[in-house]
Amino acid sequence: MDSIVGDARPAAGGAAGAALIGVDVGARRVGLAAADPTGTFASPLGTLERERPGFWAELGRACVERGCRLLVVGLPRRLDGGEGDAAGAARRFAAQAERRLGVATVFWDERFTTREAERALIAGGVRRAARRTRVDAVAASLILQGYLDARRAAG
């Protein structure tokens, strides 16, 4: 499993032409986002309920439909840069995804993405009930966009 946080160079699996899906791993929901074919922009796809039967089949279907070869998994770090329980959960999720779906994974620092996503939804006038179901997908798009921007900057 490749590990990428901050300004690290993107993994070979993230080369141009590879379909990418960004993932925001939460305790109850997993937010998903997809990159456009050029690898320039990330867009929210939606959320999946982790405890729902068939969760892995749904995630696998999303990967197959988009030809995904790489999941960019948000790695929640503490303000001091260390990792806590949530980071461990993200690492376990990535290991399961690799084993169950046969896709590569990389990590991207996701500090503040949920807060940024919440602010963007509020600014867009999205009501509280709708924000709960959308915030994880918007956070996933912020994670993926950060990865795409760094990959482009790295050349």
Q: List the chain domain ranges.
A: 22-81+99-154
Q: And the tokens for 100? A: 């169950």
| Lookup: tokens for 124 | 């867009």
For residue 11, is pLDDT > 60?
Answer: no
The string of pLDDT tens digits covering residues 38-78 is: 889 999 999 999 989 999 999 999 999 999 989 999 999 88
pLDDT confidence of residue 95:
97
Between 151 and 126, name the one with better pLDDT: 151
The yes/no answer on whether domain 22-81+99-154 falls in CATH 3.40.50.20 is: no
At residue 18, the pLDDT reads 59
What's the pLDDT band for 155 if we cut at 50, 70, 90?
A: confident
